[in-house]
Amino acid sequence: MISFDREAPGGGVDAHTVMENSKAEIIFTVYLKQLVQAEQKAQTEHGVQEEPNREEKNVQVELFLYDPDGEETARMSIKTTPEDVAKATESCWSVSTRTLLIYPHLWQGTLTPVLYQVEAMITSGEKQLDVMRFVYPICTMRQVESADFLLNDRPYTLHAVRYVIPRKNDHISDGFSTSNGYGISMDKFAADLEIMQELGANCICPDFFPTEPQFYELCLKKGMILWKLTGETEKVPLFCGGEKALLSDDGSRKRDSFYLYQACWSSKKVLHICHNRQVPRPGSFASVMVYSNQKKVALYVNGVLQEFKESAPRFLFEDIPVRGEYTIVSVQAGDCFASVTWNV
């Protein structure tokens, strides 16, 4: 029986987009595989050659492309013949086709993560031999020599985070896994993607790429670009799982560095007072670091205005007087407020 070659690029159907003017040409490469039935294999091993069912070798591959509203926007048909199978190496071969869309809905990262749906099926007469369904972003991505990243041939600033996939627990069944024993549940990964979006990230750089298509589908639906790290990887912040990571090892607490990147990347209003583990002594003068994407931050001590600063995203306030049993340090930026209390 003929089926999609799940070990081939794209899991059996690989697609490539070429953009020109307002048109998108999508080139599909379909990878097929001739499955050998157990009894047929046994006959071959004993020197008996049996011709495979000729009807199943005269198959047709059909591809349907649906727009983000679920409407069919393109249909393609490819016939494969016994001659194609005969020329195949180790019962595997590929066929290709293409379609052209005028003014397509473009996938533009976190701005507009619209996706098309692809349905591919192999049929022989009235019999359906195999089927595949997956989402597809109509876009182009490339990195030019100047190191600028282009999305749909326009400059696109990458806010990338490194993502380490933890060692897979035995109880995780609904998730991503790899041959080296690492994996993560889909619920956990979806929650991590939500935090990345809150951070303002638009690109994820995993330490390795899982084989499960759900991994890529979740990223695409969130508008996250998947990109392989090259060059100085230490300049890309680590999401979780290390001393310098944006989140604590268990992912339950956001570290100060998270808010610094959020102040640089996110359009959400950010105002964060960095944590100081040492409580200042009475009668001393202390300092606090504030991260914000607002233009101006005001500092109050026990409700009394001390000073303004304009130095986004880092605002360092020094010489804060520590008096009495407690000192309340408050910061304000527009309608955002944050405070910390020192009990001395």
User: d(Cα 97, Cα 64) in Å, to the nearest integer?
Assistant: 12
State the DSSP H helix or E strand holding residue 329, giving kind and residue range, or none if neither. strand 326-333
User: d(Cα 21, Cα 329) in Å, to the nearest integer?
Assistant: 56
Q: What is the pLDDT of residues 167-190, one digit of tens each?
A: 555 444 455 555 445 567 888 899
Q: What is the pLDDT of residues 144-167, one digit of tens each?
A: 776 689 999 999 999 999 998 765
Is 148 within the bounds of a domain? no
Is 177 within the bounds of a domain? yes
Same domain, 134 and 171: no
Is 115 within the bounds of a domain? yes
- Say what the pLDDT of residue 313 is: 97
Same domain, 26 and 90: yes
Is 246 within the bounds of a domain? yes
Among 248, 265, 282, where does a domain finish?
A: 265
Give pTM, 2 decimals. Answer: 0.82
Is 26 within the bounds of a domain? yes
Same domain, 259 and 295: no
309 class by beta-carbon count within 10 Å (0-12 exposed, 13-18 middle, 19+ buried): middle
Same domain, 12 and 73: yes
Same domain, 87 and 216: no
Q: What is the pLDDT of residues 45-89, one digit of tens each?
A: 555 544 555 455 578 999 999 999 999 999 999 987 666 666 655
User: d(Cα 297, Cα 317) in Å, to the nearest integer?
Assistant: 10
Residue whose pair of structure tokens reads 């089926």 in the numeric block: 3
Among 265, 288, 318, where does a domain finish?
A: 265
**Overall number of domains in the chain:** 3
Q: What is the 3-state secondary structure (H, E, C) of 217-253?
A: HHHHHCCCEECCCCCCHHHCCECECCCCCCECCCCCC
Assign 126 a pLDDT band (cuts: 50, 70, 90): confident
Note down the domain range covering 310: 271-343
Same domain, 225 and 292: no
Q: Which two tokens stand for residue 255?
A: 């570290």
pLDDT at 196 over 80: yes
- Residue 325 has, within 13 A of its CA and on its CB side, a CA count of 0
Same domain, 22 and 57: yes
User: d(Cα 25, Cα 17) in Å, to the nearest integer?
Assistant: 6
Strands 160-163 and 203-206: parallel
Same domain, 25 and 114: yes
Handedness of CA 272, 277, 278, 282 (dihedral sign): positive
Among 238, 265, 292, where does a domain finish?
A: 265
Is 72 within the bounds of a domain? yes
